[in-house]
Copies of this chain bind each other. A is one copy, B any other.
Amino acid sequence: MKLWLNQLKQAVPSDLNTPAELARFELESAFPGVAFDLCQQDSMGDAYRIEPLGTDGFRLTGGNTGLLYAAYRIITDRLCGESLSSPVASSPAYALRMVNCWDNADGEIERGYSGRSLFFRNGRLDYSDDRIRMLGRLLASSGLNVLCINNVNVHFPAQLLLEDYLPGLARLAGIFRPFGIRLMVSVDFSQPMRHGTGTADPLDPSVREWWKETASRVYAAVPDLAGFLVKADSEGRPGPFAYGRNHAEGANMLAEAVKPFGGVIVWRCFVYNCRQDWRDTGTDRPKAAWEHYAFLDGQFADNVILQVKHGPFDFQVREPLSPLLLGMKKTKLAMELQLAQEYTGHQIDLYTMIPMWKELYEELPSDRIMSVAAVSNLGDDENYTGHPLAAVNLYTYGLLAWNPAVDAVSAVTRWCRLTYRFTPEQEQTLVSLLLSSRRIYEKYTAPLGIGWMVTPHDHYGPNPSGYEYDLWGTYHKADRNAVGIDRTHSGTGYLDQYPEAFREKYGDPASCPDLYLLFYHRLPYDFVMRDGRTLIQRIYDDHFEGLEETRSMAEKLLALPFPEPDAAVIRVRMERQLYNAREWCDIINTFFHRLSGIPDGKGRTIYD
């Protein structure tokens, strides 16, 4: 199957040791005969300058990794038919551009839709060096530089990465090193208890000592480890709450242990009550992260990064930017995205994420955001991402992590051109289909920001009330008159967590953008929207349109001359998406029709 950079015919050899060496290899094998002058300036780090040299040569200046990024810049530009005629300089917007794999040691991937783990098999580190090197090239060429290889839910024996499996981890880090990719490990907050501390209390001296010794041992084996990733006190994971400590106390203790080695602690903020009583209307899950973290602003150590999901729920198709990302001005933050299509079609349905990310980046303040992270969509399927077109999300995630100002059309076009050899017209068709896919998916799934109408647990396909009476805090409370939760000041108060301008825009149904309407407001079905349509008519219209647009998308996509086996995989998955889109459209419409009793104003079929 086609991967971007498939035009590079030579595999990366195993005897390269540094990014600068790899940069030279990639350039020389891609463009034999072209002159390249590489000037390493370590202080430049990831940054680089490229200057034309003579008639067909270049001078590259940069840090060790900067030279590699410069090399991939030249290579991808050329493969895309662009030539660098004047000097360019570039440096990344975010220092840590991370991918979080949710791989378990048994080889299963939590929310994985591309096969099994690339790193683990049968409870052990077990991987193909060649596939890892190919992955390294893919990640480095898109600008990504940190890879956490194990699930944030650290199930035994993943703990052994810091213990018996450490030599294997060191070897894997060595394979990734020439690609400028540093490993990260998800750690289990209670891990010292496996070694007799009797507690994991972050203020307990024996616990602190254990983590310091462990960090020292781990960094002796993997000196450039990026650090530890921690999911604590979340969905059953152990954490500082058990000892009456707050998350700053928990994170700072770990930060102290890795600090001497230049490591960071990435601390996830996905903390909420996952045992909520559906009858309890006093609790509103989106408020949880703010309530757990905002008051700790300024209390985290300098090498702690709080990793905050982009929205206040959990990777729904449409959520507002998390208030934590706007409000914690004295804390280092990372925004967490999800490449794995957990709620967005399981890498069966087309769902290109960049339009969504662009919306998020536009609202994101740049001053305290140090890093971005994305839950991986990788697996051991031949093409790494299951759906051949899902790779566009991995690639463009990297481009935006380097430079959020990159525009969506050019990023997606770049991926298409690096992957397939299409005519300009075909390429334009594909780019346009990819860019429209998110809005189409949004149209046929849960309406207007409400989210969560998915099959419980599995999260593919519709179930309008699947989570309605469950413990997860994700309710729409649709009844015969109205739907949605009032999250304004007069409702749950969630909106109070935002700055003034935000509150004003979203707080009034008259000014709230339509696509967020049911996230913030509870409205009757006959509510009249700005465009004159009623809420219920808008719901029907979106769903009928979403289905029609899927059919049209399928027709255009399947007419493109994808090479085999990509074509076959795309065809099969598109059949499944067509089925899924019809189920969503009809089920959501029927659900709201049964409740409201209001017929479609355009007389289309809504089933009983």
User: Which of A's residues lie within 8 Å of B, judged by CB?
Assistant: 278-279, 281, 462-466, 469, 477-481, 583, 586-587, 590, 593-597, 607-608
Contact = CB atoms under 8 A, between A and B. Distances in A.
Given A279-B607, A281-B608, A480 B587 contact: no
Contact of A477 (B477, B481, B597, B608): B608
5 contacts: A469-B590, A477-B594, A479-B597, A480-B594, A480-B597
A586 to B, nearest CB: 6
Nearest to A480: B480
A586 B279 contact: yes
Given A481-B597, A586-B279, A594-B479, A466 B469 contact: no
Contacts of A477: 594, 608
A583 B464 CA distance: 19
Given A279-B607, A281-B608, A608-B281, A583 B469 contact: yes
Contacts of A279: 586, 607
A79 B518 CA distance: 67
Given A463-B465, A463-B466, A479-B595, 6 more contacts: A278-B607, A463-B469, A464-B469, A479-B593, A479-B594, A594-B595
The 8 closest A-B pairs by CB, nearest first: A479-B594, A480-B480, A279-B607, A469-B587, A465-B465, A480-B597, A480-B595, A477-B608
Nearest to A461: B469
Contacts of A480: 480, 594-597
A462 B468 CA distance: 11
A594 B466 contact: no
Contacts of A479: 593-595, 597, 608
Contacts of A593: 479
A103 to B, nearest CB: 26
Contacts of A597: 479-481
Contact of A465 (B281, B464, B481): B464
Contacts of A478: 594
A555 B469 CA distance: 27
A521 to B, nearest CB: 16
Contacts of A583: 469
Nearest to A593: B479
Contacts of A463: 465-466, 469
Nearest to A469: B587
Instruction: Name which of A462, A587, A596 has the most chain B CB atoms within 10 A of its CB.
Output: A587
A281 B590 CA distance: 14
Contacts of A481: 597
A258 B554 CA distance: 54
A478 to B, nearest CB: 7
Nearest to A465: B465
A587 B466 CA distance: 12
Nearest to A462: B469
A91 B481 CA distance: 63
A469 B593 CA distance: 14
